[in-house]
Structure 1
């Protein structure tokens, strides 16, 4: 692969997925796109670049973008964002939305489904408090391949052992041969949809809680600002956004501001970083079980 071909691929991937590859990531392109070449009977990366320049085969174009997408995820990843959901965000939402009894949650980089399914388990644990509520949990991802796995809800032994408390595995999964399938009731709780964060997503509507974790790290600053600004536009005035541990809005956008009381939690910039005050009739913290995360 020549330098000009590498630069073409860098620009191609940034335009279509937001992925900002630095020059030292050349090895990553070679390692991930060589299998794509084999899959389509293409002899070299040079030939692959030629096919992309001609833009004649959308199947190859889609395979290239999806091959470069990082899909590292596991159940209850980093734990803190899920503790925040259980102990802070869900009690606040129940208190603030007693009139509408509606809650909308978006996982903006759902990958193979472990993040939205982790939230679905917590929601199910709180089911008595949400009786009569309409709860929508939407998971989106650029890759249709990983979304298909997410819809199936089928995971191997290694995947269910990464972060998933044994109590929840026994409660919500059934063994199928050497794999584990999440229960049908939880699969039905999550609406998985393909979505490129570079595209418009206002058609998704307004959300109360947005998880956009560990995806912005692959974008450059202008792309991060654009995506965060459009997420803020889809956020309820008292809503919340959770980013990955290595991600922040500071120095990138004023559309969102850090919640001073909770690391990794962000509110509307107009709120001047103040978390919404609990209503007078706010319930006590939810009495939900605590689980040891492995």
Structure 2
């Protein structure tokens, strides 16, 4: 792969997915896209770059993006965002939405579904307090492959051992061969939809709680600002955003402010503002 090929692939990925790659990530491109070359019978990454420039194979474009997308996740990942949901956010909105009895939650970059299903199980555990409520969990991801796995709700032994309390495993999962499948009533609580965060997502509507964790770290500063601004515009007046431990809104948007008590929680503070335009092209 020549330097020009690498530069093209970097621009292609940034334009299509927002992924910002540095020269130090060249090894990652070579290792992950090498598999794509074999699948599509391309000799090397230079051949892959040439095929992408032709722009005539949407399956190839999809495979490149899927290969470079990081889908690391597990049940109740980092624990504190879920403790926060259970002990702070749910009680807060039960009081604030007592008249409408409606709550909307969005899990962006939901990957194989462990995050939204973790929230769904917490809601199921609180079912007695939620009688008569309409609660929506929308889960999105750029990868249609991981969304299909999420919809199926099938996980191997390693996946259910990562963060999932044994009592919830026994209560909400059934053994299917050498895998575990989450209960139909939990699967039905989550609406999975394909979505690219760098593209328009206003059609999803307004949300009270947005989980967008561990995805902004892959974007450059202008893209982070753009996405965060659009996220804030989709939040209800008293809506909140939860980011990953290594992410922040500081210096990136005027529409969100850190919660003074709860780390990783951000509140809406401004009227809708225009997101800066991005001009990346390939």
TM-score, L = length of structure 2: 0.95
- Considering only aligned residues, what root-mean-square deviation do their CA atoms show, in Å? 0.8
Shift of the alpha carbon at 1:14?
Answer: 0.3
Shift of the alpha carbon at 1:41?
Answer: 1.3
* Partner of residue 28, structure 1: 28
After superposing on structure 2, the runs of 4+ consecutive aligned residues of structure 1 that deviate more than 6 Å are none
* Partner of residue 166, structure 1: 166
* Partner of residue 18, structure 2: 18
* Partner of residue 75, structure 1: 75
Name the SS of the counterpart of 1:10 in structure 2: helix
Please list the CA deviations of residues 225-280 of structure 1 after superposition, one character each: whole Å capped at 9, or x if unmatched. Answer: 10000000000010110000000001111111100011000001339xxxxxxxxx
| Match runs of 1:142-291 below 5 Å | 142-270=142-270
Q: Distance in 1 between matches of 2:104 and 2:74?
A: 22
* Partner of residue 52, structure 1: 52
* Partner of residue 112, structure 1: 112
Name the SS of the counterpart of 1:41 in structure 2: coil
Q: Distance in 1 between matches of 2:270 and 2:128?
A: 34
* Partner of residue 276, structure 2: none
* Partner of residue 286, structure 1: none
TM-score, L = length of structure 1: 0.91
Gaps (5+ residues) in structure 2?
272-282
* Partner of residue 140, structure 2: 140
Aligned residue pair count:
271
* Partner of residue 280, structure 1: none
* Partner of residue 66, structure 1: 66
Q: Distance in 1 between matches of 2:129 and 2:269?
A: 30
Q: Distance in 2 between matches of 1:47 and 1:252?
A: 38
Q: Distance in 1 between matches of 2:253 and 2:229?
A: 7
